[in-house]
Structure 1
Amino acid sequence: MSAPATSQLAPRSVGEAMKRGAMRRCPACGEGPIFAGYLKVRDHCPNCGEALHHQRADDGPAYFTILVVSHLSAPLLLAIYMLYRPSSAVLIATFLGGAALLSLLLLPVFKGAFIGLQWAKRMHGFGDEPDRPVEP
C-alpha cells in the first residue's frame, strides 16, 4: 500500500511543533520527553508513540548555537571591556565559561526545535503515514 501524498495530509503547525521541540517535548503531542539523555533522541514518544527516529538534525543545532552565542558574547565582551577594563585573564575566563555554559543550555533547545520543524514539514520520513489521534 502506498503512502498518501503530502498534499492529502492535514497541515501541521510549524510554530507549535518547533515550540514543543524547543521545550524538549514531542512535537506531535507536546507531552512526552523527546530526549532520552542530553542530546540522545528517543526512537518513539513514550506518551503518543510517534516515531522520532527519522530526525536528521545533524549539525544545524550546533551552527545555530554558535551563531547565537557569538552574537550575544561579542557585543557584551566589548561593552564590559570598555566600561570596566578588567584584566585579560579575568575577561577570558569569564567569557569562556559563559559561552560554554550558554552553548550547553542552548544546544538541546535548538535540536528540539529542528526536530519539531522536520516533523511539522513531514521531512525525512515524518510524513509517511497520516496523523493518528493522541490516545489518553
Structure 2
Amino acid sequence: IDAKHQLLPDAITLPLIAIGLVFNYLFGFVEFTDALIGATIGYLTLWSIFWAYKLIKKVDGMGYGDFKLVAALGAWFGWQSLPMLLLGASTLGIVYFLLAIKDRNQAFAFGPFLIISALVWLFLTY
C-alpha cells in the first residue's frame, strides 16, 4: 500500500504493534520490556525526526504511518534492533533515491524499505 499510495493505514500498523507486544509477552521472542521500549522508542525517534525536519524545512518529511511501522518493528524485535533496522532501511532508501528518483523534491515511500530491512534482520539474526 505504501509503495503505491504512500499510505500506511492504522488498520495495519496499529494491530502490528499490538500483536508484536502480545506475542512477545506470551512467547518471549524478545523480552517484553524490550518490545515495549522498542515500540515507544521507535515511534518517538521518527516523530522527533519528523518535527525537526518540519521545523527546518517547513514541510512534512514523512508520514505518521512510518512512525507506527517503526513502533511495530520495535514491538516485534525489541529496542536493540532499531538502530540496524533504521540504518538498513535508510541505506536502501538512499540508494533508491539516488538511482530511481529524478526529481529531488519527489516524495517516495519509506515503508517498503523498513519492511525489507526487517526481513533481512529477521533472516540474519534469528
Give the TM-score normalised by structure 2. 0.32
Task: Specify the structure having the higher radius of gyration (Cα).
Answer: 1
Q: Which has the higher helix share?
A: 2
Higher relative contact order (CA 8 A, sep 6+): 1
